[in-house]
Chains A and B, each alone.
Chain A
Amino acid sequence: MGATVTTANNETKTWGGGNEPMGASYGKMMMWFFIVSDALTFSGFLAAYGFSRFKFIETWPLAEEVFTHFPFMHGVSAPMYYVALMTFILIFSSVTMVLAVDAGHQMKKDKVAIYMFLTIIGGMIFVGSQAWEWKNFIKGEYGAIETKGGSLLQFVDKDGKRVALADFAATLPEEREQLTRNKGRWFMDEPTLPSYSVAEVQAGFKSHPDLLIRTEVITAEKKKTVLSRAESELRLTQASLVVEGANLTHNEYGSKLFADFFFFITGFHGFHVFSGIIINIIIFFNVLMGTYEKRKSYEMVEKVGLYWHFVDLVWVFVFTVFYLV
């Protein structure tokens, strides 16, 4: 296995072969430069997020109002707790990974295997948590109205608390059937219809005089603007769409780009975690089979460790940019 693990032995003969640039084996050095390029890819995404956010700086959604769910605590607004938990899980799986590398340096096969296993489990819990986060994001909680101009209107009561469409929308005797492929004349269908039509929301709003509309615009106090009742009624006449939850074209949280970047950046990161788990599983089985015992070097564990820590590193930035700032 001389090709995968080289050892620098001769500092004096620079061009004599068997030499390692920068004192690192080729595999490790190339992992570092792969990480550089991947870091720049993520930086590009996060900078693009910053670009769009600066472009719509006065109307961008407030993160603490979007991510408020926690498992088994239904209806309780718990901003940030869940994502903090996910962060701890990922940091902890980084710790077990680095412990595996450390055990590898001492050629302790069993310890390496146990720590690798824990790392894989941690990664799986993280990806599962992210799936749950996505589920909540896609499902939405309150629903909103999109106007003809493309801006978003949300509903609040007198105290400024959010009100879900389901709590006030009227039921009108109108029936709008979903067009599906088997009912279409040609290969025709349409996206899932929202639970309420625009007319039902408008009628429900009229019959609940204590409701107000909240626009996307952020005030000087860093809160969303709440309109007066008269202004609210005027704005609601421009309604064109009922939005529930989020997809790539509409979302109930605010700027359309917000959901796009959320899906794309956390999705790309989640894909990195997923591929990291796959690579970790491969290396885990190699450890069990004693491949690295025979090779007398656990450097391969160190290389996947670099990748795994990089995934953690990216999450630290995604966490700050999406949830904190």
Chain B
Amino acid sequence: MSHEHVSNTKRIWFVFGLLSAVTTVEVFLGIIKPEFLHMNYFLGMNLLNWIFYSLTIYKAYYIVWAFMHMEGEKSTLRSAVVAPVIFLVLYLLFILLTEGHYIFGVFKNSTIKWNF
């Protein structure tokens, strides 16, 4: 609970180490771009990008839960904050990315190269 005034410096440094390690892995993969990850696809996205997005969400989880101390809040606040964001972001991404992909197809298969 956030009202218990105990020091959790140990956990803070642990999370810092974790976030740094994950970032290092991301940068490392981003520089070498292993062929077998970069060229193989799963559900329309290459494996390397799957790893990047998973690690990003993993980092986001630790920032929100440990640094922003979401783990100490009541579950009502947790779900009131997290659920709308997750739902709306997924919805927005679904709509915009589908539409972007569609417009790509329109330009590719028509005489207009691009106009804006």
Contacts and interface: CB of A to CB of B under 8 A. Distances in A.
Nearest to A7: B3
Contacts of B107: 55
A95 interface: yes
A135 B6 CA distance: 45
Contacts of A52: 100
B27 A22 contact: no
Interface residues of A, number: 59
A29 interface: yes
Contacts of B49: 325
Interface in A125-157: 149-150
Interface in B66-116: 66-69, 73-74, 76-77, 80-81, 84-85, 88-89, 92-93, 96-97, 99-101, 103-104, 107-108, 113-114
B97 to A, nearest CB: 5
Nearest to B33: A64
Interface residues of B, number: 57
Binding site of B, secondary structure by majority: helix, strand, loop or mixed?
A: helix
A317 B85 contact: no
Summarize A's interface: helix, strand, loop or mixed: helix
B73 A22 contact: yes
A47 interface: yes
Contacts, number: 149
A313 B65 CA distance: 11
A150 B115 CA distance: 9
Contacts of A33: 81
B23 A105 contact: no
A285 interface: no
B52 A50 contact: no
B56 interface: yes
Contacts of B38: 222
A54 B92 contact: no
8 contacts: A23-B73, A23-B76, A55-B100, A55-B107, A79-B30, A84-B24, A320-B53, A325-B49
